[in-house]
Amino acid sequence: MIHIDNLSVHYGDRLALCIDEPVTFNAGDRVGVIGSNGAGKTTLINALLGLIPATGTFHLDAKPEDIGVHMQHNEYSSNVPVRNVMNLILGCKPEAHPIAAKLIDYFNFSHCLGKRFEKMSGGEKQKMTLILVLAKETPLVFFDEVTTGLDFVSRDHLMQLLRDWYTNRDATLVFITHYYKEIENLVNKLLILDRGRLLAFGHPQELFRTYCGERLFITEKTAETEKIFADVPILPLKDELALRPDDAEAEAVFRLLEKHHLSYRRCHMDIEILAQTVMAKKGVTDE
């Protein structure tokens, strides 16, 4: 569906994006593109869509009309009711559109049709664009920070709706986000960027095993816990102590946690921990 051999984007003299190894999004993939602000996530999507100049060898196996795009910020006319705006885009009344009508019910959006765009909440605005994008039922869809401006509960609810909607659909989905938890149970591939550089790409579980290990014990990071577990391999996390024992050490680590009455959690997959570890091992700093 999307094939990249190499891809570069320059903003003036600054290299904004450099992918210098093969990357493929296959049909039906759910891909999470993650990284901090300025990592190059939106630049990547804009380059693939031909919205900005880019160099390299890459292509999309989809015609423009077969691509759906939910941008981070979407603005519509505020002079007429939302129903009229959707009518213009869909080519018919939204309630009469066979897919849009289902989505209006699905997202509980019917009470918004008489509102003007500027009078809607952030979540309602996101739902409006989602209805318009999903109603096209394109085989390739990009979602750029789809939960921007929403609180945790609203973000979680919206992502659950998207998971449910696409459960039995074969569309290739690309999610750009810096809220890592919201895509943890949704994607089957991760692409990690930092300052325009590709740090890692692959299946989340495989990447986690490669960079973090088979299992982790996560506990509070203090001078005391660092002393207690001084001989146990750890991951370079900022705010937590992530113990990475091998099979022979696991039982001993468990006993120490119990002995010192330390609260902890077991971890076999965590995208945020994975991202932090990848960045640390690739030499990424906060500077």
- Residues 195-243 pLDDT 10s: 999 999 999 999 999 999 888 999 999 999 999 999 999 998 888 999 9
- Choice among 28-32, 39-43, 72-76, 267-271 with the minimum mean pLDDT: 72-76
Q: What is the pLDDT of residues 90-142, one digit of tens each?
A: 999 999 999 999 999 988 899 999 999 888 887 888 888 889 999 988 999 99
Question: Which pLDDT score, from 0 to 100, does residue 162 have?
Answer: 86
Q: Are 196 and 19 in contact (CB under 8 A)?
A: no
Mean pLDDT of 4-28: 92
pLDDT higher than 80, residue 149: no
- pTM assigned to the model: 0.86
Distance between CA atoms of residues 144 and 150, nearest Å: 14
Q: How far is CA 178 from the centre of its chain?
A: 6
Q: Which of 182, 178, 148, 189 is nearest to 162 (CA)?
A: 182
Confidence band of 286 (pLDDT split at 50, 70, 90) = low
Residues recorded for the chain: 287
Whether the predicted pLDDT of 287 surpasses 70: no
In angstroms, rounded to a whole number, what is the distance separating the alpha carbons of residues 147 and 125?
Answer: 10
160: confidence class by pLDDT, cuts 50, 70, 90: confident
**Residue 159 phi/psi, 5° resolution?**
-65, -35
Nearest CA among 135, 117, 138 for reference residue 126: 117
pLDDT over 90 at 283, yes or no = no
For residue 249, the model assigns a pLDDT of: 87
User: What SS3 state is found at 220?
Assistant: strand
Quote the CA–CA distance of 243 and 126 in Å, as a whole number. 39
